Structure 1
Amino acid sequence: MFNSQKTAELCNKEKYILFIQWCKENGALISDEVQYPSAFGAQGYTGVSAKMNIPANKVIIAIPNKLIISHHKVLKSELSDMFKTHKQFFDDQITADAEFNCLALYIFYHKLQGDKSFWYPYLNVVEQHTMFEWRNRDLFNLQDQSLIDEFMYIQSEMDKSWYKFKGLMNKYPQYFGSLTEEQKDMFYWSNEFVMTRCFGWTLPSTSLVPMADMLNHSNTNPATYHLINRSIEQNGQPNNRYTLKRERIDLKLLELDFKVDPKYSIRNSQEAYIQTNKQLLVHEFEGQTSRDKINQINYNVLQLWKEKQAWELDFESSSQSEDNDTDSEDEDKVDKLSQIRKKELKILQEKNMKLDQQYTQKCQDIITSLIPKNAQYKQTQTNIQIKGKRTFEEDLEKDQDSSESSDDSEKDFDWYNDDDDQVYFCITTAGQIQQGEQIYTFYGRRNNRFLLLWYGFTMNNNKYNSFNLRLWLNPEPMAMNDQIYSKIIVTDIVNTSHLKLGQINGVPINQLSREIKLKGSKLQEDLIIYVRLFLMAYYIGQDANSILLTIPISIDFEIQVFDFTLKLLSYLAQRFKSPYQEDLNLNQNNLTCEEYFALNYRLGQKELILLQINHIMEALKLLRMLKQQPKLNIKEYFMQQSNSVEKIRALRYYIKYL
């Protein structure tokens, strides 16, 4: 929420006045509709807001090429001899960190110069609020030891980076002087600066863009950005692969007045879908979100067309779009599960649900493809020394900036050069923005864990949020009691002498455990598959030989699976230091920024677990009803209940195979 009092205080600060003046003196164009600095929330965090209503598809900020700090430009800067001499640090053909290293040292070099640097007004206005500034008490408030351990690992890597580059920079006293430990905090600051402010996706190279990087992140109605060549737009004759924007975007800020084609006023496929399906609506949609509208349309489709099933419809789900904080393990897992399901469906077709010993062996072959051999696992487990900390991956994910230009096809910049004074980096509204609203951009499909680790903040109602749960594969047989849940959850980090390059005693940690990401509004299928696999060794029903991994076969076994999963999730929910309702009732106005983001993070984690618990309980109700009434019409069962849209949406892929 816009904080007018703190906004007025910010606007009177000299550093903001000088920064805006510096931007404009160097050719930046900032619409009169835009207010910077603006303050938001009780904490008064800084961002950009709308002074008045702003229509969609309009350029509101245009930063000239001169003010863009790109990797390509930095390579040609006064530090070029250092970059060329030490290619092991600065050549992107040798190291994936080359662009980051170049930009971070360039910023550090100019930070050392103080107000003598051309970039001083820009560097001086930025305040860092990442986890590096958090106190131990703030970290404890996260109530997530695995996240704290991961941050401590990042911090230790930053320390290593300082000593590595300090030695290198001391070879160039003409640029950096004689560095001591006193400059360590400034080095940290420079790394954080690049880490939190870069644009990368759909640009010629990773870049820092003053003023454009003052917009905060949101998944809801974010502005987008484009590189726009004013001369080409004026002439209307694109060179090479440049895509004209003048029919899609209002370019008046660049003194270009062309009529925008009305067809671009429908800003995305969701709204287009709603427009196309208006005749299906039986309720007015005033005040509803796009997701609510689409879900309601699909509910009406199910009512009108009896032959339609829930899994055939595209419900808009908070977890429908995966976050892009994934690695090859996640992609391989999805692909492997898809292959297993195809094999299991083929098995069912071949034997019409009557699995003899030959087909049971096929199922076992499928299972062994998922897990390591027992002997290898047992040997590794024997050698592991548990140290009482929690597990994280040693090879942390690299930050791949995913801010999206609206023209994904324009990725070949053969029309661009670093010295072209006709090129502007333009922030463009995607949807209408109301007076007083914050103007956001989009950093990518990031969960709150990633946002906190790499940017220092979290988001309310983050549709890409997830709860990371790592479970041991193929654990030793154990008594089925309350202690079993702690024994299958990977809660301890092994001795660092055993954990090297993501391996434990030479065995990749991904072969010993499986990471499962609990998402918001759908039943987490891979968690159910894991529990099926785990409980196969305990199930003694008459249909035990018929059990499959990806397809529910036995109602009795499925009830056991969902009951076990419910208890596992309840165990996770009880591990937090403070109850969910207590956190929900806290007065957020009295919190510091660190306390607020820690609260927001742990609330999000608890909510994801509670949502999964709700989905599991609904599935259990259905399974018990099916046990009593084997011929139950599942679609009619849900349509007669309250909140049927939410329930169908969450379970639609599970009930497809029931």
Structure 2
Amino acid sequence: MQFDQKKTDDLKLNPKYQNLLKWGLDNGVIIKDVDLPAAFGELTGVVATQDIPANTAIICVPQTLIISQEKCKLSSLSIVYDKHPELFNENQTSDAEFNILIFYLFNEKKKGEQSFFYPYIQAIQTNNTLIDWTKEELSYIEDPIVLDEFAIVNEDIKTLWNYAQDIFNEFNQIFGEVKPTDKQDFYWAAQSVMSRSFGWSLKSTSMIPIADFLNHSNKACTHYFVHSKVEKLEQERFQAKKNRRNNQDSNSDLEDLENMEDSFIRLVQEYYKIKGNKINLSALKIQQDESQIKQFEDSKKTFILHHQEYLTENQLKNLDNLENLSNEDKRSMINWINYEKMKQKPEVNLWDLGFVTSSDSEDNDSDEDIELARNKQLESVKQKELIEWKVKIKEDKQKQGINQQEIKIEQQIVEQNQELDNQQNQGDNTDSENILTICLNNEKKNQVTIQGMAMQQIQTQQIQTLKQNQQQIIEQDEQQDKESEREDSEESNWEWLEENDQDAYFCITTTEPIKQHEQVTVSYGRRTNRFLLSWYGFTLPENKYSSFNFRLWLNTQISKEKMQSQQQIFDTITINKLISSKEWDTGIIKFNGYEIPVSSITKEFRIKKNKLNMDLIMYLRLYLMLYKVQEKDVYITIPVSVDYEVFVMQFCIQLLQHYLNSYSQELAQDIKELDTQISFSRRFALHINKERKEILINQVMILLEAIIILKKYQESNDLKQSYISEIHNNVHYKMEILRGLKGYLKSIHEFL
């Protein structure tokens, strides 16, 4: 949305914003090169008052204004927190930090003008999370998992309110007499903490006045904790060392600085991570050598400049104006470069190309430990299947009497590895891993080195039934609040930070250049629209982290039930609900008239817009073997035949079409309605409905392209020509589709 100066002028007349800014500035908040409030259509946010470079601190909030868990515990509510550890002790509940902040914020609101935070509390708008939506508004959301997640959040707050009423009566000397507005104010506090608190890379979850008035986006600022006194000292020390090297003031500069350091500064420097080499801290009046500050690099621009020999004459004319081109235009140029590189260089394949960035970026709404465990498990399956596949190739060769000498040599390699394994078992280093090198395709001379158990140990029976593989793909990944982002500048030890340290600041910092009159936003994390809607009550029109999520029932009896239609099959195996913690505990969910063991349900598939979902393909390879094809020698991780791969993808398309058909209106209607004047709730619901359909449609287009390529490859036995032959008709679109097939086509190249 565009900046609206007239609406901004009206907003600035609102006393609540005037009081907030005066209170903040009077208490040490520093605002540089930005202004608030600012209007962007119907949204209120923060605007850049001039062009701002990347890596620049623009809003600095002193520690003294931050409402942290530690500050709450030092308040009059400490007795409340101590008396009820079931609500406020992090060792007893994972919601402790949120609960501590909610009760504190409620109490401050109840104090009215007597609260130090009154100007801040008055400026916080009435919340618009899903809790405030009507039943009709909630019905706009056609994703049952979002509604299931919201139902859990809503129930948790109801339960907390029930506890709160008893606590308010128990400690009426602290919370005062009961008022008719208590429930409304408590829900306001709960929603404020849900939607406005900061947690990532902080000592604890905190409310940070003024900083929380920035809206969220994927192209956004980040934040750092900065100790201004230490940063100034570090810059002075750096300059003194530089002067000494240049023989300037060498007698006393460094010695004087060392004498300035007291024990606290030494403690801070031991644990605190210097930020002055990363960001411009001129807002804090810290003089820096700008050459030492981390410089912003546009990776798309760099890629284009390094490969300009592949550009057309018209494209070359735009090189001087690259900074002003949109990301979409630069992406088109990158796709052209990659296409020309494949055309001009026979040795370059699709999977060798660098696409710079990708809209299939992963979110951080999933459990990182579970994802790592899943990847490790999948790699183990792949290793076993690679060896089983190689053994089968050998057996086929033996039956045909082909390349007997090669088989003999390969057998010697296997025997040598077994002998090595025996030697290691007899030695001291029993934990060492053997290395087995196998040739995937003798004609292509490609080899894979596998680290793992010896051949004799890992030859297992081929996976014949779905039941044997269930435990390898079942995971619980519904823990939506775990952060996975990390920065090398993130603090890991907070012993240096004191609650009322006037030199410590929470600094909102740009990550890339921002143009004058652009909205300045901050990232809440790599959040999907599903998470944003459930927790914050809003969505982004375009969210690169979003995905279409679903589970399937590993129903091995379905082929025996002789279902009349594919629709019946899809209605049976698709699980469109959130599995609750109670269901995980009991091991049973009830869905569509079935009592389904949790152990027979897949992990949650997450389909991204521009990338073939290999997890789903691998699952369907195995599932369809039992359902219809009865194909022998099917592997999860390895394609075994073009015909079977085409069959799997055709079934996958029909499955995705089943999900598309579940929506009440088509994508074109969503797009048309979004161009009209509609309520925020309807708009946010349409955003998530629309993106789901776009993801499904794009995945279908990727699958259709894969089928075309596979059939061409079957006829010509030339994989590269099969996927490159029609790109020239629409380079940007085709390259975007092919980008999603990089990994899959590489596996076709290796195994077929």
1:325 aligns with 2:365: yes
The CA RMSD measured in Å over matched residues stands at: 3.1
Residue in structure 2 matched with residue 503 of structure 1 by the alignment: 587
How do 1:71-82 residues align onto structure 2 when only pairs under 5 Å count? Answer: 71-82=69-80
Local SS of the residue matching 2:617: helix
Note the alpha carbon deviations across 1:75-121, whole angstroms, 9 max, x for none: 11111122122222222233222111111111111111122211111
Q: Normalised by the size of structure 1, how large is the TM-score? A: 0.88
Contact 1:403–1:442 (Cα < 8 Å) also in 2: no
1:185 aligns with 2:226: no
- Note closer, same or farther for the CA distance 1:68–1:583 as it changes in structure 2 (3 Å cut): same
For residue 352 of structure 2, the aligned residue among 292, 298, 312 is: 312
Richer in helix (by share): 2
Where structure 1 has 5 or more consecutive residues not aligned to the other structure, the ranges are 378-391
1:264 aligns with 2:312: no
Residue in structure 1 matched with residue 419 of structure 2 by the alignment: none
- Note closer, same or farther for the CA distance 1:530–1:409 as it changes in structure 2 (3 Å cut): same
Q: Report how far residue 415 of structure 1 moved.
A: 2.5
Note the alpha carbon deviations across 1:42-85, whole angstroms, 9 max, x for none: xx121111122222222211111110111111111111122122
Query: Aligned equivalents of 1:123 and 1:396: distance in 2?
Result: 33
How do 1:572-651 residues align onto structure 2 when only pairs under 5 Å count? Answer: 572-633=659-720, 634=722, 636-637=724-725, 642=730, 643-651=733-741
1:518 aligns with 2:548: no
Contact 2:276–2:293 (Cα < 8 Å) also in 1: no
Query: Aligned equivalents of 2:83 and 2:498: distance in 1?
Result: 25
Note the alpha carbon deviations across 1:530-571, whole angstroms, 9 max, x for none: 222221113447xx2121112211222112111111111111
Contact 1:401–1:443 (Cα < 8 Å) also in 2: no
Query: Aligned equivalents of 1:39 and 1:342: distance in 2?
Result: 56
1:414 aligns with 2:499: no
Query: Aligned equivalents of 1:587 and 1:196: distance in 2?
Result: 24
- Note closer, same or farther for the CA distance 1:187–1:657 as it changes in structure 2 (3 Å cut): same
1:460 aligns with 2:541: yes
How do 1:396-435 residues align onto structure 2 when only pairs under 5 Å count? Answer: 397-400=479-482, 407-435=488-516
Query: Aligned equivalents of 2:370 and 2:597: distance in 1?
Result: 11
1:483 aligns with 2:482: no
Residue in structure 1 matched with residue 619 of structure 2 by the alignment: 530
Residue in structure 2 matched with residue 389 of structure 1 by the alignment: none
Contact 2:45–2:213 (Cα < 8 Å) also in 1: yes
Residue in structure 2 matched with residue 145 of structure 1 by the alignment: 144
Local SS of the residue matching 2:708: helix
Local SS of the residue matching 1:223: strand
Query: Aligned equivalents of 1:410 and 1:267: distance in 2?
Result: 24
Q: Which range is displaced more, 162-171 or 621-630?
A: 621-630
Note the alpha carbon deviations across 1:145-174, whole angstroms, 9 max, x for none: 332233223212211111022222321111
Q: Which range is displaced more, 456-465 or 354-363?
A: 354-363
Residue in structure 2 matched with residue 27 of structure 1 by the alignment: 28
Contact 2:466–2:554 (Cα < 8 Å) also in 1: no
Contact 2:366–2:478 (Cα < 8 Å) also in 1: no
For residue 63 of structure 2, the aligned residue among 58, 65, 77 is: 65
Q: Report how far residue 510 of structure 1 moved.
A: 5.5
Local SS of the residue matching 1:612: helix
Identical pairs, percent:
33
Query: Aligned equivalents of 1:164 and 1:18: distance in 2?
Result: 34
Mark the structure with the bigger radius of gyration. Answer: 2
How do 1:212-251 residues align onto structure 2 when only pairs under 5 Å count? Answer: 212-220=211-219, 222-236=220-234, 239-251=269-281
Query: Aligned equivalents of 2:297 and 2:178: distance in 1?
Result: 51
Query: Aligned equivalents of 1:209 and 1:497: distance in 2?
Result: 32
Contact 1:323–1:464 (Cα < 8 Å) also in 2: yes
Where structure 2 has 5 or more consecutive residues not aligned to the other structure, the ranges are 238-267, 400-455, 590-594
Local SS of the residue matching 2:44: strand
Q: Report how far residue 250 of structure 1 moved.
A: 2.2
Q: Report how far residue 190 of structure 1 moved.
A: 0.8
Note the alpha carbon deviations across 1:270-321, whole angstroms, 9 max, x for none: 6665666566666446324265565555444434442232223343454543
Residue in structure 2 matched with residue 107 of structure 1 by the alignment: 105
Contact 1:502–1:508 (Cα < 8 Å) also in 2: no
Q: What count of residue pairs does the alignment treat as equivalent?
A: 632
Query: Aligned equivalents of 1:370 and 1:274: distance in 2?
Result: 45
Q: Report how far residue 447 of structure 1 moved.
A: 0.7
Residue in structure 1 matched with residue 470 of structure 2 by the alignment: 371
Contact 1:57–1:430 (Cα < 8 Å) also in 2: yes
For residue 120 of structure 1, the aligned residue among 118, 121, 126 is: 118
Contact 2:50–2:516 (Cα < 8 Å) also in 1: yes
Q: Report how far residue 396 of structure 1 moved.
A: 5.6
Note the alpha carbon deviations across 1:466-510, whole angstroms, 9 max, x for none: 11111111342243533211111014689x998364731799736
Local SS of the residue matching 2:744: helix
Matching residue's letter, 2:462: C
- Note closer, same or farther for the CA distance 1:227–1:291 as it changes in structure 2 (3 Å cut): farther
- Note closer, same or farther for the CA distance 1:63–1:626 as it changes in structure 2 (3 Å cut): same
